[in-house]
Amino acid sequence: MSERTKFMLEEKDLPQAWYNINPDMPADPGPVLHPGTKEPVTPDFLGVLFPMQLVMQAVSTERFIEIPEPVREIYRLWRPSPLVRARRLEKALDTPARIYYKYEGVSPVGSHKPNTAVPQAYYAKQEGVRGFTTETGAGQWGSALALACSFFGLECHVYMVRVSYDQKPYRRIIMETYGADVTPSPSDRTQYGQSLLAQDPQHPGSLGIAISEAVEAAVSSNGKYKYSIGSVLGPVLMHQTVVGLEALKQFELADDYPDVLIGCIGGGSNFSGFAFPFLHRKFTEGKSIRALAVEPTACPSLTQGLYTFDYGDTAEMAPIVKMHTLGHTFVPPGIHAGGLRYHGMAPHICALYEHGDIEAVAVGQVETFEAAVQFARAEGILPAPESAHAIRSAIDEALEAKQRDEERVILFNLSGHGFLDLGSYERYFAGELEDYEYPADRIEEALKGLPVLAS
């Protein structure tokens, strides 16, 4: 294998097409149901919400879907992203394992999110819409979409959970720098928002409410605006496969191949985009690989959720899908990995997990920050709290390999940097971070609101 530390690809190695896992799925991810009728949705229904190209991608059985050249032109601003051999971390752990990480923090907003925001904005522009509506919690997804809209001259209307809007201004400022219009949610711009403000003018908001407002604003705009989603949906997972496709090429340069892939998991897009191209090799060439999804103990949808039909959002306005869910009324504790606080999971991930193609583990908040600091001191990069979940498990795998004296090859996805999460590091050092275990009786409560389906 190569003696090098960093494996860079040239522009010409940027993937020409995304990998669509649909035709290779060993298990059915299930239908998408209308939240009202609870019947399978039609493309026309979804087309009111999303750009039509996205809807068509959701049902496509083409194995590779061409990345439009204007999207590749923008990808090239930061892609291909680096694959790095974490030699200094290996040394610090004194492990025989070889640890690699794919680093998505090089994007302008510091995460993998623009990989899907850019094509979504491109398709919307092609279809002549005026702009996007979307929701954002702390602002990671909103800043990626704001960037993408700025590139294509689209308006970007972001409904930002009010408590984050007030308390975490930084990503809001990034969005505004890219020219986005950011509104604290609940807002007076939607009927749903108005109804909530009427009850409580100081309503702190929630991600579920922000989704509902963004959806309402798009649906009621007579096609002027579409709604943009940052995870869960099949095409979003697919857009992220540039990450895994690049990593495959980079492992050729490294003259090596991973035994285990590790990624954090919230809605599932970062993990999917990273792992699916490797699963493709497994499905089509029999190349064995372990794929390990890491979730927080505070929100353990894969490891403790029920695999059933549930709403995608809190307000029961988003489609119903089959997934591992903690119940759409479940409000996860306020851990600092805000991007992993989702009650459900991408249906593709869930089907693969049920089928045994993906493993999952839940890790605590404190041990996650411990890993983040160990990584930062060895490799320099300060990881996002979400990404640090993957680091925790990568270190655990490396230590297990050491115990077994095994040359395990570990690849994890460092999906973003932590420059905008320094407050959480401060709380970690001050000993103020809490760990949350998900109690068994909580799930029964959370699942009471499941939709009642006809069959």
For residue 192, give the nearest of 221, 215, 160, 224 by alpha carbon: 215
- Site of interaction with its own copies (CB under 8 A): 4-6, 8, 10-11, 73-74, 76-78, 84, 88, 106-110, 114, 147, 150-151, 169-170, 173-174, 176-179, 373, 376-377, 379-382, 419-420, 422-423, 425-426, 429
User: Helices 385-403 and 365-379, interaxial angle, to 10°?
Assistant: 80
Nearer to its own copies, 219 or 253 (CB): 253
Query: What are 37-45's contacts with CB under 8 Å, separation 24+?
Result: 38/320, 38/451, 38/452, 38/453, 38/454, 39/454, 41/319
For residue 409, give the nearest of 262, 249, 245, 253 by alpha carbon: 262
What's the closest the beta carbon of residue 113 comes to its own copies, in angstroms? Answer: 12
Phi, psi of 155 (to 5 degrees): -75, 150
Nearer to its own copies, 76 or 355 (CB): 76
d(CA 107, CA 113): 9
- Helix, strand, or coil (residue 154): coil
What's the closest the beta carbon of residue 4 comes to its own copies, in angstroms? Answer: 5
What's the closest the beta carbon of residue 74 comes to its own copies, in angstroms? Answer: 8
Residues 6+ apart with CB under 8 A from 110: 384, 416, 417, 419, 420
What's the closest the beta carbon of residue 2 comes to its own copies, in angstroms? Answer: 10
Alpha-carbon distances, residue 179 vs 146, 182, 214 (angstroms): 7, 9, 18
Nearer to its own copies, 330 or 428 (CB): 428
What's the closest the beta carbon of residue 6 comes to its own copies, in angstroms? Answer: 6
Nearer to its own copies, 24 or 370 (CB): 370
Nearer to its own copies, 64 or 170 (CB): 170
What's the closest the beta carbon of residue 129 comes to its own copies, in angstroms? Answer: 20
Nearer to its own copies, 6 or 287 (CB): 6
Alpha-carbon distances, residue 168 vs 58, 160, 235 (angstroms): 34, 10, 30
Alpha-carbon distances, residue 265 vs 13, 42, 109, 294 (angstroms): 27, 28, 19, 6
What's the closest the beta carbon of residue 136 comes to its own copies, in angstroms? Answer: 16
350 contacts 322 by C-beta, under 8 angstroms: yes
Nearer to its own copies, 109 or 232 (CB): 109
Nearer to its own copies, 171 or 389 (CB): 171
What's the closest the beta carbon of residue 298 comes to its own copies, in angstroms? Answer: 22
